[in-house]
Amino acid sequence: GQNIDQPTEMTATEGAIVQINCTYQTSGFNGLFWYQQHAGEAPTFLSYNVLDGLEEKGRFSSFLSRSKGYSYLLLKELQMKDSASYLCAVRDSNYQLIWGAGTKLIIKP
């Protein structure tokens, strides 16, 4: 079956750095996506990786290793507004998005 694993919850301090990991086992691979979702709101797109390596976009970076079925989202200079759930999603061979359960990130002052 298809499976995406990410930690349920993480806590970090304002101004610090946090890394949210995602491992996946899917039937085929056509890209990995990270979305941010604040409570009661719809997800918003953060990043996309289809080749191995690091994609940097401002304070957020995303890394992919296809051979390891592994990705991480790195958030730098954490701000209180970064408190949200972070969803990892993989597009499989049928171009369907398979969603992880999300990681709730709590930022403390």
Partner 1 sequence: GAVVSQHPSWVICKSGTSVKIECRSLDFQATTMFWYRQFPKQSLMLMATSNEGSKATYEQGVEKDKFLINHASLTLSTLTVTSAHPEDSSFYICSARDISGSGNQPQHFGDGTRLSIL
Which residues are at the interface with partner 1 (CB under 8 A)?
31, 33, 40-45, 48, 50, 87, 91, 95-97, 99-102, 104
Choose between 8 and 67: whose C-beta lies nearer to partner 1.
8
Q: How far is the CB of 64 from partner 1 (least distance, A)?
A: 13
Give 44 or 65: the residue with its C-beta nearer to partner 1. 44
Q: How far is the CB of 80 from partner 1 (least distance, A)?
A: 20
Q: How far is the CB of 52 from partner 1 (least distance, A)?
A: 16
Instruction: Report how far apart the first and last C-alpha atoms of the chain are (Å, whole number).
Output: 40
Amino acid at 2: Q
Q: Is 94 exposed, middle or buried (0-12, 13-18, 19+ CB in 10 A)?
A: exposed
Residues contacting residue 62 through CB under 8 Å, at least 6 positions apart: 32, 34, 46, 47, 48, 49, 54, 55, 71, 72, 73, 74
Q: Which is nearer to partner 1, 69 or 100 (CB)?
A: 100
> Exposed (0-12), middle (13-18) or buried (19+): which is 41, by Cβ within 10 Å?
exposed
Least distance in angstroms from the C-beta of 76 to partner 1? 22
The nearer residue to partner 1, 33 or 72, going by C-beta atoms, is 33
